[in-house]
Amino acid sequence: MKLARLGVNIDHVATLRQQRGEFYPEVWRAAEVALATGAHQITIHLREDRRHIQDHDVLAVHDMCKKLGLPLNFEMGCHDEMIGIAIKEKPEWICLVPEKREERTTEGGLDVLNETNYQKVKKTCEALKASLPHTRISLFVEADKAVLEKCLTLKADAVEIHTGEYAKDFLNKKDLSSHLDKYGQGAQLIKKNGWGYHAGHGLTFESLEPLLAEGHFEEYNIGHWIIGESVFLGLGHVVKEMLTLMSKYPLKD
């Protein structure tokens, strides 16, 4: 029985630390707890503005991932500085995401239909693949057919579908059928080309379940809800509960 993988995003452990400028809570400890509990990988986003994850966190978290034999998924914008950091650190996965300094969090997927943006993403993918042939690349995008077709022209290995609007509609008890239809159609297109099909952004324990029932996504990267819930229940407990839910829904294709 093949199950979806869970990547735990621990950015907001760093958010809590940065509010006071202390050394605690240590981000690497969150990685240790999540992975020891059963998470399949750790996701961190080193933003250009360094609002949460710091450069030293990348090294410390990756060291913990390597110690436990599990991958680091390094989210980054398409910037020369980040390309250099990624090449030096050699993460197992890199997820390319859009960044705007004024946003609270990532607000949508990469706009690869815009030619300027497309060329920037293309250049980044090529630079990373040239220096990191064993690192796999995912592209954080919307589940739009034209976008996904454009992604397939790039040197990458997977897409991660932005589930932010789905998550909002779930919370507002709106009809989810249009989201689920797009996700299913996207799965067919992406998987027949041999790419990975991942999802993330805004998901909670409750909003994850309908996606698991559809069985299309091979990996989910979830952070804010897990860290928030961990304040009450503990990180290990929350990760274990989410993995238990995921174990009930084998992948369908």
Half-sphere exposure of 160 (CA within 13 A, CB side): 30
Residue among 12, 40, 45, 162 flagged as catalytic: 45
| 52 counts as catalytic | no
Residue among 12, 32, 52, 75 flagged as catalytic: 75
| 75 counts as catalytic | yes
Question: 3-state SS of the chain?
Answer: CCCCEEEEECHHHHHHHHHHCCCCCCHHHHHHHHHHHCCCEEEEECCCCCCCCCHHHHHHHHHHHHHHCCCEEEEECCCHHHHHHHHHHCCCEEEECCCCCCCCCCCCCCCCCCHHHHHHHHHHHHHHHHHCCCCEEEEEECCCHHHHHHHCCCCCCEEEEECHHHHHHHHCCCCCHHHHHHHHHHHHHHHHCCCEEEEECCCCHHHHHHHHHHCCCCEEEECHHHHHHHHHHCHHHHHHHHHHHHCCCCCCC
Beta strands at 158-162 and 5-9: parallel, antiparallel or unpaired: unpaired
Residue among 40, 62, 198, 201 flagged as catalytic: 201
| 216 counts as catalytic | no
Active site residues: 45, 75, 201
